[in-house]
Amino acid sequence: MADIKALPFAFPLKRGALALVVIDMQRDFAEAGGFGASLGNDVSRVTKIVPNVKRLIEGFRAAGLPVIHTMECHRPDLSDLPPAKRDRGNPSLKIGDAGPMGRVLIIGEPGTAILSEVAPIDGEVVIEKPGKGAFYATPLGDILKARKIEQLVFAGVTTEVCVQTTMREANDRGFECLLVEEATESYFPQFKQAALEMIRAQGGIVGWTAHLDDVLEAINA
Protein backbone atom coordinates (compact mmCIF):
# COMPACT_ATOMS: atom_id res chain seq x y z
CA MET A 1 0.00 0.00 0.00
CA ALA A 2 1.43 3.36 -1.03
CA ASP A 3 2.00 5.80 1.79
CA ILE A 4 1.03 9.44 1.30
CA LYS A 5 3.99 11.82 1.15
CA ALA A 6 3.31 14.02 4.17
CA LEU A 7 4.74 15.91 7.12
CA PRO A 8 6.13 15.21 9.67
CA PHE A 9 6.61 11.81 7.94
CA ALA A 10 4.82 9.59 5.43
CA PHE A 11 1.16 8.86 6.22
CA PRO A 12 0.66 5.06 6.44
CA LEU A 13 -2.36 4.74 4.16
CA LYS A 14 -4.92 2.03 4.98
CA ARG A 15 -7.12 2.21 1.92
CA GLY A 16 -10.07 0.21 3.31
CA ALA A 17 -10.23 2.37 6.43
CA LEU A 18 -9.89 5.84 4.91
CA ALA A 19 -12.50 8.59 4.49
CA LEU A 20 -12.46 12.23 3.41
CA VAL A 21 -14.16 14.76 5.71
CA VAL A 22 -15.00 18.08 4.05
CA ILE A 23 -15.71 20.71 6.68
CA ASP A 24 -18.32 23.45 6.24
CA MET A 25 -17.85 24.45 2.57
CA GLN A 26 -21.03 26.51 2.94
CA ARG A 27 -22.24 29.67 1.24
CA ASP A 28 -22.37 31.32 4.68
CA PHE A 29 -18.56 31.16 4.92
CA ALA A 30 -17.78 31.93 1.27
CA GLU A 31 -20.22 34.55 0.02
CA ALA A 32 -20.95 38.20 0.72
CA GLY A 33 -23.91 38.57 3.06
CA GLY A 34 -23.12 35.36 4.95
CA PHE A 35 -21.92 34.61 8.46
CA GLY A 36 -18.20 34.79 7.66
CA ALA A 37 -18.57 38.20 6.07
CA SER A 38 -20.77 39.41 8.94
CA LEU A 39 -17.84 38.73 11.29
CA GLY A 40 -15.77 41.17 9.21
CA ASN A 41 -13.83 38.59 7.18
CA ASP A 42 -12.57 38.62 3.57
CA VAL A 43 -14.48 35.62 2.22
CA SER A 44 -12.64 35.60 -1.13
CA ARG A 45 -9.91 33.60 0.57
CA VAL A 46 -12.41 30.74 0.95
CA THR A 47 -13.72 30.83 -2.62
CA LYS A 48 -10.16 30.48 -3.96
CA ILE A 49 -9.80 26.92 -2.61
CA VAL A 50 -13.09 25.62 -4.04
CA PRO A 51 -11.43 24.11 -7.17
CA ASN A 52 -8.88 22.31 -4.95
CA VAL A 53 -11.56 20.91 -2.65
CA LYS A 54 -13.49 19.79 -5.74
CA ARG A 55 -10.41 17.95 -7.11
CA LEU A 56 -9.90 16.21 -3.77
CA ILE A 57 -13.54 15.14 -3.53
CA GLU A 58 -13.51 13.86 -7.10
CA GLY A 59 -10.29 11.95 -6.40
CA PHE A 60 -11.89 10.18 -3.45
CA ARG A 61 -15.00 9.38 -5.47
CA ALA A 62 -12.88 8.03 -8.35
CA ALA A 63 -10.97 5.83 -5.88
CA GLY A 64 -14.26 4.49 -4.47
CA LEU A 65 -13.52 6.00 -1.06
CA PRO A 66 -16.13 7.61 1.21
CA VAL A 67 -16.69 11.35 1.28
CA ILE A 68 -18.34 12.89 4.35
CA HIS A 69 -19.53 16.50 4.42
CA THR A 70 -20.23 18.67 7.44
CA MET A 71 -22.33 21.80 7.80
CA GLU A 72 -22.26 24.23 10.72
CA CYS A 73 -25.94 24.90 11.29
CA HIS A 74 -28.69 25.19 13.86
CA ARG A 75 -32.34 24.30 14.32
CA PRO A 76 -34.84 26.99 13.32
CA ASP A 77 -35.99 27.29 16.95
CA LEU A 78 -32.34 27.91 18.00
CA SER A 79 -32.65 25.26 20.73
CA ASP A 80 -29.16 24.00 19.87
CA LEU A 81 -27.59 27.49 19.87
CA PRO A 82 -26.12 28.57 23.21
CA PRO A 83 -26.48 32.33 23.82
CA ALA A 84 -22.70 32.41 24.32
CA LYS A 85 -22.28 31.34 20.69
CA ARG A 86 -25.01 33.58 19.29
CA ASP A 87 -23.72 36.72 20.99
CA ARG A 88 -19.97 36.17 20.52
CA GLY A 89 -18.11 38.78 18.52
CA ASN A 90 -21.12 41.01 17.97
CA PRO A 91 -21.45 40.14 14.24
CA SER A 92 -23.59 42.45 12.11
CA LEU A 93 -25.77 39.39 11.46
CA LYS A 94 -26.14 36.93 14.32
CA ILE A 95 -26.84 33.23 13.81
CA GLY A 96 -30.59 32.91 13.25
CA ASP A 97 -31.05 36.47 11.97
CA ALA A 98 -32.63 37.00 8.55
CA GLY A 99 -29.97 38.02 6.02
CA PRO A 100 -29.66 38.27 2.24
CA MET A 101 -29.31 34.46 1.98
CA GLY A 102 -32.03 33.62 4.49
CA ARG A 103 -31.60 33.00 8.21
CA VAL A 104 -27.89 32.78 9.03
CA LEU A 105 -26.62 29.20 9.60
CA ILE A 106 -30.10 27.76 10.00
CA ILE A 107 -30.85 24.30 8.59
CA GLY A 108 -32.56 24.50 5.20
CA GLU A 109 -31.80 28.16 4.48
CA PRO A 110 -30.10 29.07 1.16
CA GLY A 111 -26.95 30.50 2.79
CA THR A 112 -26.45 27.43 4.93
CA ALA A 113 -26.16 25.19 1.86
CA ILE A 114 -22.89 23.66 0.72
CA LEU A 115 -21.42 25.42 -2.33
CA SER A 116 -22.75 23.76 -5.49
CA GLU A 117 -19.25 22.99 -6.87
CA VAL A 118 -18.47 20.76 -3.86
CA ALA A 119 -21.97 19.62 -2.94
CA PRO A 120 -22.65 16.09 -1.70
CA ILE A 121 -23.94 13.49 -4.14
CA ASP A 122 -26.42 10.71 -3.38
CA GLY A 123 -25.07 8.26 -0.82
CA GLU A 124 -22.61 10.64 0.83
CA VAL A 125 -23.02 11.34 4.54
CA VAL A 126 -23.81 14.92 5.55
CA ILE A 127 -23.29 15.82 9.21
CA GLU A 128 -25.20 18.81 10.56
CA LYS A 129 -23.20 20.16 13.48
CA PRO A 130 -24.08 22.87 16.00
CA GLY A 131 -20.51 23.28 17.20
CA LYS A 132 -17.16 23.99 15.65
CA GLY A 133 -16.07 20.36 16.05
CA ALA A 134 -17.92 17.75 13.95
CA PHE A 135 -18.06 15.12 16.74
CA TYR A 136 -19.83 17.31 19.31
CA ALA A 137 -23.60 16.58 19.36
CA THR A 138 -23.55 14.63 16.08
CA PRO A 139 -23.61 10.95 15.01
CA LEU A 140 -20.24 11.22 13.24
CA GLY A 141 -18.36 8.98 15.69
CA ASP A 142 -20.95 6.19 15.43
CA ILE A 143 -21.05 6.45 11.63
CA LEU A 144 -17.26 6.14 11.34
CA LYS A 145 -17.22 3.21 13.78
CA ALA A 146 -19.93 1.37 11.85
CA ARG A 147 -17.95 1.82 8.63
CA LYS A 148 -14.68 0.73 10.27
CA ILE A 149 -13.00 4.02 9.34
CA GLU A 150 -9.66 4.57 11.10
CA GLN A 151 -8.06 7.33 9.03
CA LEU A 152 -9.47 10.73 8.09
CA VAL A 153 -8.29 13.15 5.42
CA PHE A 154 -9.53 16.69 6.10
CA ALA A 155 -10.41 19.63 3.88
CA GLY A 156 -12.60 22.71 4.28
CA VAL A 157 -12.91 25.87 6.34
CA THR A 158 -11.72 27.44 8.40
CA THR A 159 -8.37 25.83 9.11
CA GLU A 160 -7.90 26.95 12.69
CA VAL A 161 -11.55 26.93 13.73
CA CYS A 162 -13.81 24.09 12.55
CA VAL A 163 -11.14 22.05 10.76
CA GLN A 164 -8.60 22.06 13.55
CA THR A 165 -11.25 21.56 16.26
CA THR A 166 -12.57 18.50 14.40
CA MET A 167 -9.08 17.12 13.83
CA ARG A 168 -8.32 17.41 17.52
CA GLU A 169 -11.61 15.70 18.41
CA ALA A 170 -10.79 12.92 15.92
CA ASN A 171 -7.20 12.56 17.10
CA ASP A 172 -8.39 12.07 20.69
CA ARG A 173 -10.81 9.39 19.45
CA GLY A 174 -7.97 7.40 17.89
CA PHE A 175 -8.25 8.41 14.24
CA GLU A 176 -5.13 9.11 12.17
CA CYS A 177 -5.75 12.55 10.68
CA LEU A 178 -4.25 14.26 7.64
CA LEU A 179 -4.97 17.83 6.52
CA VAL A 180 -4.61 18.76 2.84
CA GLU A 181 -2.83 22.11 2.64
CA GLU A 182 -4.32 23.43 -0.61
CA ALA A 183 -7.85 22.28 0.31
CA THR A 184 -8.21 24.25 3.52
CA GLU A 185 -8.24 27.98 4.19
CA SER A 186 -8.54 30.55 6.91
CA TYR A 187 -9.63 34.17 6.82
CA PHE A 188 -6.19 34.82 8.34
CA PRO A 189 -3.18 33.49 6.37
CA GLN A 190 -1.00 33.51 9.46
CA PHE A 191 -3.53 31.37 11.34
CA LYS A 192 -3.63 28.81 8.51
CA GLN A 193 0.16 28.58 8.57
CA ALA A 194 0.23 28.32 12.36
CA ALA A 195 -2.45 25.62 12.37
CA LEU A 196 -0.58 23.55 9.79
CA GLU A 197 2.61 23.83 11.82
CA MET A 198 1.03 23.05 15.19
CA ILE A 199 -0.81 20.01 13.81
CA ARG A 200 2.36 18.35 12.51
CA ALA A 201 4.74 19.57 15.26
CA GLN A 202 6.07 17.27 17.98
CA GLY A 203 6.05 14.25 15.68
CA GLY A 204 2.47 14.82 14.48
CA ILE A 205 0.87 15.64 17.82
CA VAL A 206 -2.51 16.20 16.10
CA GLY A 207 -1.77 14.55 12.77
CA TRP A 208 -0.19 14.97 9.36
CA THR A 209 -0.28 17.62 6.61
CA ALA A 210 0.16 16.87 2.91
CA HIS A 211 -0.13 18.47 -0.51
CA LEU A 212 -3.17 17.85 -2.68
CA ASP A 213 -1.26 16.24 -5.57
CA ASP A 214 0.47 13.81 -3.24
CA VAL A 215 -2.83 12.73 -1.67
CA LEU A 216 -4.47 12.25 -5.07
CA GLU A 217 -1.52 10.29 -6.42
CA ALA A 218 -1.50 7.89 -3.45
CA ILE A 219 -5.22 7.22 -3.28
CA ASN A 220 -5.49 6.59 -7.00
CA ALA A 221 -2.32 4.47 -7.23
Q: Minimal distance in Å, beta carbon 187 to ligand TIU?
A: 6
Q: Which is nearer to ligand TIU, 14 or 88 (CB)?
A: 88
Question: What separation in angstroms does the CA of 67 have from each of 121, 165, 199?
Answer: 9, 19, 22
- Minimum CB separation of residue 127 from ligand TIU in Å reads 12
* Sheet-wide strand order for 18-23: 125-129, 67-72, 18-23, 151-157, 176-185, 208-210
Cβ 198 to ligand TIU shortest distance, Å: 16
- Between the CA atoms of 83, 86, 91 and 97, what dihedral angle is there, to the nearest 10 degrees? -120
- Considering beta carbons, is residue 55 or 192 the nearer one to ligand TIU? 192
Residues 180, 141 contacting (CB under 8 angstroms): no
Reported as half-sphere exposure (CB side, CA atoms, 13 A), residue 57 has a value of: 23
Catalytic residue among 28, 54, 73, 129: 129
Site string for ligand TIU, 153-182 (x = CB under 6 A): ----xx--xx--------------------
24 binds ligand TIU (CB under 6 A): yes
Catalytic residues: 24, 129, 162
